Amino acid sequence: MLQTQNVFRKVYEFYNDPEYFQQLLKIAVPITLQSLLTSSLNMASSVMVGQLGEAPVAAIGLAGQLFFLLNLMLFGIMSGSAILTAQLWGKGDVENVRRVLGFAVKMGLVAALIFWSVSVFAPEFTLGLYSNDPEVIRIGSEYLRVFCWSFPFFSVGFAYAMLMRTTGNVRLPLVVSVLALTINTILAYVMIFGVFGLPKMGIMGAAWSGLIARIIEFLLLIGFTYRNRNNPTAASWRHLVEFNPQFMLNVLKPVLPVVLNEVFWSFGITMYSVIYAHMGTDSIAAINIVQPIDQLAFVAFLGIGSATAIIVGNLIGKGETQKAYRYAGRSLGLQISGGILVGALVYSFAGLIFSLYNVSAQVILNARHILAFLSAAMWIRASNHVIIVGILRSGGDTRYSLILDGFVIWIVGVPLAAAGAFLFHLPVGYVYALALTEELTKFIFGSSRYFSRKWINNMTEVVETA
């Protein structure tokens, strides 16, 4: 009994810091709200497409894999750049914050151009890597050829929104994103089902509504950013087009491992989709039904992870490394306990959503099995998110995070999932469970890295030397 009381007292003392929670909530709540609304509206769109049958559900899920890859590549570029801007902002260096933003915009546009080219000129070939269902490939290709025009707008907006948060401006990205997603959902309903006398467009309605919403989001974000020229992310044209090889090389050193991390990890996740898709349309449809639930359940952990990256990065930039270590540890503890709680809630209630889908009983059964394993592993995935994104990257330990997040998926997760699917012919739920062994491996090595303190590095000199 006495030992239990001592444990609770130590935990209370560790978390008895109003300043930490004030900073965390200030940043995490708007990011969480944005993620929550995004996931909720994505689920609404998924349910709408779900009324069209299994082939459209599978098609939009596979077509979404290209956008998913782009999104993760952009996340690598922007979160890698945010390592620098968070520390630079902690030091008060606005000029170099804007120069790094210009670098991020240029890199993001290059990535968008690559994925746009694939979507316009070779969508059938690309989707054929995921599925051998001709109908799914045809529908998904038609969707991609329209939606891909949103990629450049999305990439530039992503850069501004991500780096804006590192300077403490989390409200503007939230408001703009909510407006754009609301417009997207309304337009999707009108266009998919042909409301108000408009023709029924089906899955193409989802493509056009997504494109229009992304353009509106871009225009609103840029417009509001430049209303105040003192905004630290109101980069001038000079900052955006600057080509300084030494500066770009210095910035690439910490950013490139993050980009490679996201590329390797995203292709690993894509390989999971390939495995599920080749198990059959029922399997990939079940995965696509569970994904919006997963996204919705994970929003709070995304908010805490992103907020931790900003707060810890600012502290390291100020030279307060001990405080940065302590704050990072608190966030890790919150993710573990929160993951256990949310996992239990997801397992208890999320299955009710399955009744909204017009799919076969086998798809629903598969989805229930996947949901059970997802719920059990929620706390591990939440912990890994804050370790990799919130702690290692914010401290500039990008090479270790590359090994941990970019390579482990190929060494552990993908081989085991492939073996379960094609050697042992297991049901999709058990194959999904084998893929989760990757997360357990990352947690073991990632938590050890946190306690070693080797991840704490001041990166501001990297930019200032150029």
In order, the DSSP letters of 38-93 are HHHHHHHHHHHHHTT-HHHHHHHHHHHHHHHHHHHHHHHHHHHHHHHHHHHHHHT-
Top mean pLDDT of 156-170, 240-254, 269-283, 392-406 is at: 392-406
- pLDDT at residue 104 greater than cutoff 60: yes
Please tell me the least confidently modeled range out of 229-243, 304-318, 413-427. 229-243
Is the residue at 111 inside a domain? yes
User: What pLDDT is attached to residue 42?
Assistant: 61
With a cut of 90, say whether residue 360 has pLDDT above it.
no
Mean pLDDT score, 403-430: 94
Residue 7 lies in a domain: no
pTM of the model: 0.76
Name, of 47-56, 146-155, 187-196, 345-354, the range with top average pLDDT: 146-155
258/388 Cα distance (integer angstroms): 10
- 61 or 336, higher pLDDT: 336
Predicted confidence at residue 216, as pLDDT, reads 92
Return the top range by mean pLDDT from 59-73, 226-240, 412-426. Answer: 412-426
Q: Is the pLDDT of residue 465 over 60?
A: no
The CA–CA distances, whole Å, from 344 to 337, 349, 403, 412 equal 11, 9, 31, 26
Interatomic CA distance for residues 351 and 343, integer angstroms: 13
Residues 67-72 have a mean pLDDT of 82
SS percent in the chain: helix, strand, coil, step 5: 85, 0, 15
Residue 447: how many CB atoms within 10 A of its CB? 16
Judged against a pLDDT cut of 70, whether residue 232 lies above it is answered with yes
Please give the mean pLDDT across all residues of the chain: 86
Whole-angstrom Cα distance, residue 466 to residue 450? 30
- Evaluate if residue 466 carries a pLDDT over 60: no
436 pLDDT band (50/70/90 cuts)? very high
pLDDT of residue 153: 94
Q: With 80 as the cut, is the pLDDT of residue 374 above it?
A: yes
The pLDDT-based confidence of 3 (bands split at 50, 70, 90) is: low
- pLDDT bin (cut points 50, 70, 90) of residue 314 is confident
pLDDT of residue 246: 82
Q: What is the dihedral of CA 293, 342, 25, 153, to 10 degrees?
A: -20
Model pLDDT, residue 65: 76
Whether 125 shows a pLDDT value over 80: the answer reads: yes
Tell me which range, 296-310, 329-343, 449-463, is most confidently predicted by mean pLDDT. 329-343
Query: Residues of the chain with pLDDT > 70: what percent?
Result: 94
Percentage of the chain exceeding pLDDT 90: 32
229 lies in some domain: yes
Which pLDDT belongs to residue 426? 94
Higher pLDDT, 44 or 222: 222
Which pLDDT belongs to residue 373?
Answer: 95
Mean predicted confidence (pLDDT) in 316-335: 92
- 10, part of any domain: no
Name the more confident of 302 and 228: 302
Mean pLDDT, to the nearest integer, of 85-93? Answer: 83
Q: Which domain holds residue 401?
A: 31-456
Lowest mean pLDDT among 210-224, 276-290, 410-424, 434-448: 276-290
For residue 315, which amino acid is it?
A: L
Q: Give the distance from CA 20 to its chain's centroid.
A: 24
Alpha helices in 319-436 (DSSP H): 321-349, 361-376, 378-385, 398-401, 408, 414-418, 428-435
The total number of structural domains that make up the chain: 1
At 297, the pLDDT band (50, 70, 90 cuts) reads: confident
The dihedral through the CA atoms of 170, 394, 461, 92 has a sign that is positive
CB atoms within 10 A of CB 265: 24
How much is the CA Rg of the chain, to the nearest whole Å?
Answer: 22
> Does position 459 have pLDDT exceeding 90, yes or no?
no
3-state SS string for 282-345: HHHHHHHHHHHHHHHHCHHHHHHHHHHHHHHHHHHHHCCHHHHHHHHHHHHHHHHHHHHHHHHH
How much is the pLDDT for 50? 67
Name the residue with higher pLDDT: 1 or 265: 265
Query: Tokens 């108000």 belong to which residue?
Result: 196
- Give the pLDDT band of residue 455 (cuts 50, 70, 90): very high
Residue 228 inside a domain? The answer is: yes
